[in-house]
Structure 1
Amino acid sequence: MQENLSNMIRVALIGSTGYTALEVARILLSHEKAELTIATSRSDEGKPLSEIHPSLAGRCDVALQPFDPKTIAENADVAMCCLPHGASAESVRDLALAGIRVIDFSADFRLSSVPLYEKWYGVTHPWPDRVGNVVYGMPEFFGDEIANADVVANPGCYPTSAIMPLAPLVKAGLIEADDIIVDSKSGVSGAGRSPKLGTLYCEANESIAAYAIASHRHGPEMQDLIHRIADKTVNVLFTPHLTPMDRGILSTIYARPVLQDNDTVESVSSRLMAQLRDTYRDHPFVHVVDHLPATKHVAMTNHVQMTVRVSGNEDQPGRVIIVCAIDNLSKGASGAAIQNMNVMFGIDQMTGL
C-alpha cells in the first residue's frame, strides 16, 4: 500500500452502479476529511461515474476501473464494497488480504455463524473463517470494535430500524423477548436499482404490498443482533412492505411489556422512553422523540427518530407500540458506512453527515 501523504481519507467504491454507491459518492462531495479516489465496475469500465449517475455530472467524474485489489490498496485507505451477497465476500477477502480496510454493504458478514448465513442466503460462504469474527457496523453499540476493525459489516436497512429501538429494551428486561412483531414499510430504492417487475412505476405507484412474509432474510439478522447486544434469545416476526416513495423506512413494532406492581399505561411508557433516552444520550444521530416519527422527518439524513406508545386502559397496560423512522439509503446503508468510516479513522462521527 502506498503511503497516504495527504490528510484526506482516500475512499474506494467497489460496485458503483447502485443507489448506495451513488449515496456514498454524494456524501463524500461534502465530506471535509475524505474523498473518492477510485471506483470500480464490472460492466462499465472506462466510463466516468457521472455517466452512470447523472446527478454527479460536473462534481464527480472519477473513471470506473476494473476490480484489482493491489491497485485499490495503493490508491485508497478504505474500500466501501457495494456488491451483492456472495460476490461481495470474495471481494472483501481479496481487499482485506491486500491490506486495505473494508466496509461491506452486503449481508455476507453480518450474521454470527456460517450455517445461519448459508440457510438464509443459499450459497456457500467464500470466506467462512471470518463469519462471526467481523464487527457489526452500528457505532451506537460496537464503536470500540469498529475503531480498530479491518472489516466492518454495514447493517441492513430494515434491521437498523428494529435493532436500535428493541435491543436496549430487551437488554433491560422491559419487554418480553419471545413475542415481538416488526411491521416495516420501505421506499422503492430499498429494492435496488436493477429493474424488477414489482418496482416498475405502474406496479408500485398508488399501491402498498407486503412481501417475503415470514421468509425475509433481515428477520434472522434482527434476531441475531438483538441477541448479541442484549444477551437474550428473541423471537421476531417480521413483515416488510413496499410503499410508493423513493426512500425511507417506517417500522411499527409491537411487544408485550414486563409489568411491575401497580403499573399504569403512563408508568410503562415513561419507563421505556427513559431507557431509550438513557441508551442514546451520547449518540448524536439517535433521537427519542415525543411526537410520532415519519420518514419525511429523517429523509436525506443519517438520523433516527423513535418513540413509544402503550395501549390499554389507564390502569391496565396492554401492548407496547414502538415507531422508528430512518432513511434506508442513509442510516440504513451509505450514511451508516460513512459514520463507520469516521469512527474507523478517529474523526468526529458526524463529519460529512
Structure 2
Amino acid sequence: MKASIVGATGYGGLELIRLLRHHPHLEIASLHTSSRFGRKIHEESPHLLHMEYTLEEIVPEEIAKKADIVFLATPSGVSAQLAPDFYKLGVKVIDLSGDLRLKNPGDYEKWYKHSPAPSEILEEAEYGLSEWNAHNIKSAKIVANPGCYPTATLLGLAPLYTEKWATGQDVIVDAKSGLSGAGKSPSAATHYSEINENFKIYKVHAHQHVPEIEQQLGLWNVDSQPISFSTHLVPMTRGIMATMYVKLRRHTSTQELIDLYKTVYENNPFVRVQPMNSFPCTKQVYGSNFCDIGIAFDERTNKATIVSVIDNLMKGAAGQAVQNANIIMGADETAGLLNIPLYP
C-alpha cells in the first residue's frame, strides 16, 4: 500500500518517514508541506541526508493519484479542512491532529478554538486507540489518531473502567511530557534557557486533551465523572508519564490488579505490564511503540495508583498511526514497529 505524509517536516511527520522507510507493507508515495515545497527533505532535516524525496504542495487531487492512504501530521485546524477532500476522493485518512477526535463540534470549538470539521466527517471518523477499537478501525475510512496524553492515560485507566472496578469519580491524572510534545515551532515556553533545569505546569484546567479522555471514559463507564487533569513540561526531548489515582468499587490487592491488567492486555503486544513493586520510566520506551504500565493498590485510601509511560512521538503519535494503518490493511499490527527501545 502506498502512503503520503502531509506535514512531513514536523516532528510527527519526520517520525512517520522513519517508520515507513523500511515498513514491509507501506511505501512512501510522497511527502507534502504547506510552505517548503520544492526542497529536498534532507535540506529541511539533515538526518535524512540519504533520502532524496522532494517536498510537494498539498493538493488532495494529486495526492489521491499516488496514495492509498494519507497521514495528516498537521497542526490543529488543518485536517478539518483537508479530511473532507480526501474522503470524497476515496483515500483512507489517518489524522494525527485533534481535529477529528471529538464527536461534539461544540467541544472542539471550545477547547481548540478552531472551526470543526463537517459533521459527516466527525461521524465517519473512528477513534484510533488501537488496543481498544481495532474491530472498528479495520473497516474505517478515517481514523482519528489519539493524542499523546490521552493514549497514556486511557491505556492506563481502561482495565479499571471496562471491567467496572473504578467508581468513575474523583479520578486524578498527573501527567508530564517532554518538549517534543509541544511541536517543532519554537516558543518562549520551550526555549532552552526557559526549560533547562526547570519543571513547570501548563494549561491548568484548560488542556485540549481533557474532553478527549472524558469522551472515551464515558463510553466505557456511564458513571464516569469529569477528571482532574494536570500537565507539566519536563526538560527532556521525548516521553510521557501519566500517574493516575483511581477510587475503586471494591477492596483488592496490588497483585490482583496486576493480574487484571495482564489478563486484559495479554493479546496486546505493545502494552507491557510491570511486575510487583516495579514502576516504569520514560527511558524504557524511548523510540518505541510500547506503553509500559505499573500498578499499586493503596489500602489506606482504597485507591489504585497507575503509572503509564509512552514515547509521545511513537505510541503517542506516529507509532500508533502506523499501528492503525496495519490494522486497516489487515496486516499484523506490529509490522514495522517491534523495534527495541533506544537505551541508554
Q: Secondary structure at the match of 2:262?
A: helix
Q: Secondary structure at the match of 2:160?
A: helix
Q: Secondary structure at the match of 2:114?
A: coil
Report the equivalent of 2:26. 34
Q: Deviations over 1:173-213 (max 9, x none)?
A: 21220110100110000000001101011111111100011
Report the equivalent of 1:336. 320
- Aligned residue among 143, 147, 150 for 2:138: 147
5 Å-filtered alignment, 1:126-275, equals: 126-259=117-250, 263=251, 267-275=252-260
Q: Secondary structure at the match of 2:5?
A: strand
Letter in 2 for 1:350: T
Aligned residues of 1:170 and 1:232 also touching (Cα < 8 A): no
Q: Deviations over 1:45-93 (max 9, x none)?
A: 10111211111111x2211111111111111111000111221111111
5 Å-filtered alignment, 1:63-102, equals: 63-102=54-93
Range with greater deviation from structure 2 (145-154 or 226-235):
226-235
Report the equivalent of 1:4. none
Aligned residues of 2:169 and 2:247 also touching (Cα < 8 A): no
- Report the Cα offset of residue 112 of structure 1: 2.0
Give the ranges of 4+ consecutive aligned residues of structure 1 lying more than 4 Å apart after TM superposition: none
Report the equivalent of 2:332. 348
Gapped runs of 5+ residues in structure 2? 338-344
Q: Secondary structure at the match of 2:241?
A: strand
Q: Secondary structure at the match of 1:177?
A: coil
Gapped runs of 5+ residues in structure 1? 1-8
Letter in 1 for 2:133: F
Q: Deviations over 1:109-163 (max 9, x none)?
A: 1112112212212222142222243111112111011111110000000000110
Report the equivalent of 2:292. 305
1:294 aligns with 2:299: no
Q: Using the alignment, how far apart are the partners of 1:198 and 1:297 within structure 2?
A: 27
Range with greater deviation from structure 2 (128-137 or 216-225):
128-137
Q: Deviations over 1:226-282 (max 9, x none)?
A: 2123444332111000000010001111111222xxx4xxx3323322221121110
Report the equivalent of 2:266. 281
TM-score under structure 1 normalisation?
0.92
Report the equivalent of 1:48. 40
1:14 aligns with 2:6: yes
Aligned residues of 2:167 and 2:223 also touching (Cα < 8 A): no
Q: Using the alignment, how far apart are the partners of 1:31 and 1:23 within structure 2?
A: 13
Report the equivalent of 1:6. none
Aligned residues of 1:250 and 1:295 also touching (Cα < 8 A): yes
How many matched pairs? 335
Q: Using the alignment, how far apart are the partners of 1:200 and 1:63 within structure 2?
A: 30
Aligned residues of 1:185 and 1:251 also touching (Cα < 8 A): yes
Q: Using the alignment, how far apart are the partners of 1:57 and 1:272 within structure 2?
A: 48
Q: Using the alignment, how far apart are the partners of 1:230 and 1:21 within structure 2?
A: 34
Letter in 2 for 1:275: L
Report the equivalent of 2:340. none
Identity of aligned residues (%): 36
Q: Secondary structure at the match of 1:198?
A: coil
Q: Secondary structure at the match of 1:37?
A: strand
Report the equivalent of 1:3. none
Range with greater deviation from structure 2 (271-280 or 246-255):
271-280
Aligned residues of 1:14 and 1:67 also touching (Cα < 8 A): yes
Q: Secondary structure at the match of 1:36?
A: strand
Q: Secondary structure at the match of 2:124?
A: coil
Aligned residues of 2:245 and 2:303 also touching (Cα < 8 A): yes
Q: Secondary structure at the match of 1:197?
A: coil
Aligned residues of 1:24 and 1:334 also touching (Cα < 8 A): yes
Aligned residues of 1:13 and 1:38 also touching (Cα < 8 A): yes
Aligned residues of 1:165 and 1:276 also touching (Cα < 8 A): no
TM-score under structure 2 normalisation?
0.94
Range with greater deviation from structure 2 (160-169 or 331-340):
160-169
- Report the Cα offset of residue 317 of structure 1: 5.0
Q: Using the alignment, how far apart are the partners of 1:352 and 1:229 within structure 2?
A: 30
Q: Using the alignment, how far apart are the partners of 2:121 and 2:87 within structure 1?
A: 11
